[in-house]
Structures are given as structure tokens and as C-alpha cells.
A and B are shown apart, each in its own frame.
Chain A
Amino acid sequence: MIPSPDNRPEETDMELIDRWKAGDSRAATRLVGRHSQALARFAASAGEREGIEELVQDTFVRAFASLDSFRGESSLRTWLFTIERRLMLDRRRAERRSRETVPVEESDHVSEYGALDSLIAEEAQERVRRSLDALSPTQREVFTLRVQQGLSYKEIAEIVGSTEGAARVHYHNAIQTVKEFLRDE
């Protein structure tokens, strides 16, 4: 059990998985609610601009269909990122679309921040997004997983199918590229 902010014991992912296997559908709702936004952010930062919700949905459908193969050696979120990344690669291969940046639609913006905050931050955030687009696909994955999701290098290496050392190198190269991009803008 993980203590929640209101001091109520919060069930771990494994406990929720067990409950869902026992037939409690509310456990699935808790799990999806816990990880869906992180998956959406990862998809967005990895360059996905369209169909992120469908991507997240497909990730959960696949994950729940094969939960028996999840042994809990990594965190559930890391495992979900791995599945989502594979789906993104499949989707890119299938669509063979160009890597040009498509502006994020207004409807895609989350309502976590107020409208005024969004307006103020928009320009700076747009620059940051463009700087991320300047990275190679692997660099962007590693960088966003590290910075936006706060994953460890070990977890990132697991998701992208690389080594911890390679993940560190990608991180250093990525931050260098982003800094240079933001300086030049």
C-alpha cells in the first residue's frame, strides 16, 4: 500500500491488478486513471499529434489482455510505456507519414492549467516542442521519458530496448541539442 496525500492507503498497481483479475472492474478504472495521462504525454512528446487517445486506449486494451505476462519486475508504467512505444512504431511504419510537425489542435490541450496560464506559456512551450522535434526519435524518447516522466535510466533503457549507458549518452546529446536550439531561436 502507498500512502495517498489524504493519508488513506492507496493500493499498489499489483493489488489493483489482482482485484481486476478477481472481477472488480473498478480496479481497471483506477489503473487507467492512474496512468493514462502519462501515456498521453509520452505519446505527445514522442511526436504523436493525432489519435493519441486511441493510442492510449489501444495500449490499455493490449496491456489488460496480456496482464498475465506482466511479472512485476519493472513498474506497470514502464511496461505500459513499452507497449505504447511499440504501438507508435507500428503506427508509424503503417502510415509512413512524414515527420513534419503538425500543430497541436486546441481541443487536444488539457484543461489542467487555466486559460490565462496556457496563453502565457504557449509561446515558450511551442519553442520547446519545436526543439524536441529537432531531436532524433530515440533521443526524444529518452529525453522526454527522463525529463517529463521522471523515469530512471534503467527503466528508459528497458522501454527503448537499449542499455543504461546508451540512455545516458542520448540524454546528454538531447539536452545539448535542445539548449542550442533554444539559444538560436
Chain B
Amino acid sequence: MNKCMERDIQEMLPDLLHRTLAADARERIEAHLATCDKCKEDLEVLRAVKAAAIFAPSIDVDRVVRQIPPYRKIVPVREIPARSRAVAWLVAASLAVVVAGGGSVLLLQQNQTNRRTAIIHDPGVQQTAAGPESVGPVVVRGGAPLQPRINTALPHAHALALVTDVEGLSDTGLRQLMNDMDRFDALPAAEPEPVISVDSGDSLDQDTR
């Protein structure tokens, strides 16, 4: 038995059996088979294998068809395209920026208002106040009295508004302001109380030595 090197022809032998080759390829293989014992033997084996395939049960087509369910179209789950998802994120981010920005502006405005007007609680005056409508001390600015901003919602609340523009006050107004300030309770110290440490004397001893 010769050893055939025509590997592509060997691989095409089943196509020759099934008559699926083009005319030129079939002629080439048939010419090769005339001289190659190995391929001839291969072809005989393939014929036998193909013939052996008849040993399969015949299928009852109608029975199979009866088991097939009627057609139902599969509706694919609608996926949000990546572009739409990006747009959704962009909108969400924009809304977040607007909300955060708006909130910041409102807070800033409120802080500025608070800076301009400081409401100071005056418990001494509160005791003598007739009611929530009691205005208490009046800051006079440029001869005209300035109404301090008072939280009238609080009963017996009394407060003094300190206008930041103190330089604009007249002498009378300034004097009035000073008098009012004298009546205030001491404000808490901005600085912490000095801590008096109890020294054991060791460190002193060391220093003096």
C-alpha cells in the first residue's frame, strides 16, 4: 500500500461519495484514484460506513409534528440603549448640579442676611417688656430711628440690632448704643479659659538647677 501525500484529496473523498464536488475537482480526484491504492481503499471504507448509516429507526413524521407547539413569537426584552443610558445619567447629573447650586445660593444669601443683622437676645429687657410687640431699644442712625429686626414670633423677646455701619451713627445714637451695651450680659469669651496647671515642682526644680 503506497503512502498518499495528497491530504486534501483524502479529505474530499466524502464529498465524492455525496456528489457535492465541482466538475474539475471530481475529475482531479478520479484521476488520482486511478493511481492511488490507499485512497481507493479509503473510498471503499467510506462507502461501507455510509451504507451502514441506514440502521436507524424510521421516524413517524406526523407524530413528531403533533408534539410541536404552535408558533409563539419571542418578544425580546427591550434593552435601554447605551446612548439613552448616558443621556439619563447626564440629566440626573444636571439636576443634581442645579439642586446643589440652588441650595448653595440660598444658603449664601441667608448667611449674608445674618451677617448684616445680628439678633442678640437680651434677657434683662425681656423681663420688663410688655409683650411680643415691645420693641425695646432703638438704634438711631443719622437722626432717624432705625427699627431693629426682632423675631416677633417669640413672646417677650427683646433684641438689639447692631448695624455694622457704626460710623454712620450720630453721637446720640452712639451713646444710646453704648448704654444698651452696658446692660448686656457678658458675652462668652472667644478664647478658652486659661488652664491653670498644678505643677508638681519637678520641672521648676529642673529649670532652677
Hey, which bits of chain A sit against chain B, CB under 8 A?
Answer: 20-21, 23, 25, 28-29, 32-33, 36-37, 39-41, 43-45, 52-53, 56-57, 60-61, 64-69, 104, 107-113, 121, 124-125, 128-129, 132, 143-144, 146-148, 150, 153, 168, 171-172, 175, 178-179, 182
* Contact partners of B71 in chain A: CB under 8 A: 20-21, 23, 64, 67
Highest count of chain A CB atoms <10 Å: which of B18, B45, B59, B69: B59
* Contact partners of A175 in chain B: CB under 8 A: 10, 42, 45-46
Which of A21, A28, A172 is within 8 Å of B65, CB to CB?
A: A28
Closest to A67 in B: B71
Interface string of B175-199 (1 = CB under 8 A from A): 0000000000000000000000000
How many Å from the CB of B74 to the closest CB on chain A? 5
* Contact partners of B14 in chain A: CB under 8 A: 146-147, 150
* Contact partners of A172 in chain B: CB under 8 A: 7, 10-11
Which of B11, B18, B52 is within 8 Å of A171, CB to CB?
A: B11
Which of B11, B20, B42, B59 is within 8 Å of A56, CB to CB?
A: B59
Which of A61, A67, A68, A178 is within 8 Å of B67, CB to CB?
A: A61
**Known contacts A28-B68, A153-B11; is A44 also within 8 Å of B49 by CB?**
no
Hey, which bits of chain B sit against chain A, CB under 8 A?
Answer: 7, 10-11, 14-15, 17-18, 20, 41-42, 45-46, 48-65, 67-69, 71, 73-74
Closest to B7 in A: A172
**Known contacts A64-B69, A65-B69, A147-B17; is A110 also within 8 Å of B50 by CB?**
no
Number of A-B contacts (CB under 8 A): 135
**20 CB < 8 A contacts A-B:** A29-B62, A37-B56, A37-B58, A37-B59, A40-B58, A40-B59, A41-B53, A52-B57, A56-B64, A60-B64, A65-B69, A110-B57, A110-B58, A143-B49, A146-B14, A147-B49, A150-B14, A179-B41, A182-B45, A182-B48
Say yes or no: B65 contacts A110, CB within 8 Å.
no
Closest to B20 in A: A150
Closest to A40 in B: B56
How many Å from the CB of B38 to the closest CB on chain A? 9
**Known contacts A23-B71, A40-B57; is A150 also within 8 Å of B64 by CB?**
no
Q: How far is the CA of A125 from the CA of B48 in the complex (A)?
A: 7
* Contact partners of A45 in chain B: CB under 8 A: 52-53, 56
- Beyond the given pairs A67-B71, A178-B49, 7 more chain A to chain B contacts, judged by CB atoms under 8 angstroms and listed by A's residue number, are A21-B71, A37-B58, A41-B53, A60-B65, A108-B55, A111-B58, A144-B49
Q: How far is the CA of A145 from the CA of B53 in the complex (A)?
A: 10
Say yes or no: B57 contacts A132, CB within 8 Å.
no
Q: How far is the CA of A153 from the CA of B62 in the complex (A)?
A: 32
Say yes or no: A61 contacts B69, CB within 8 Å.
yes
Q: How far is the CA of A29 from the CA of B68 in the complex (A)?
A: 10
Highest count of chain A CB atoms <10 Å: which of B45, B51, B67: B45
* Contact partners of A52 in chain B: CB under 8 A: 56-57
Q: How far is the CA of A23 from the CA of B68 in the complex (A)?
A: 13
Closest to A50 in B: B57
Say yes or no: B55 contacts A179, CB within 8 Å.
no
Highest count of chain A CB atoms <10 Å: which of B11, B14, B18, B60: B14
* Contact partners of B18 in chain A: CB under 8 A: 150
**Known contacts A32-B64, A61-B69, A124-B48; is A68 also within 8 Å of B54 by CB?**
no
Say yes or no: B42 contacts A179, CB within 8 Å.
yes
* Contact partners of A113 in chain B: CB under 8 A: 54
* Contact partners of B7 in chain A: CB under 8 A: 172
Q: How far is the CA of A150 from the CA of B49 in the complex (A)?
A: 12
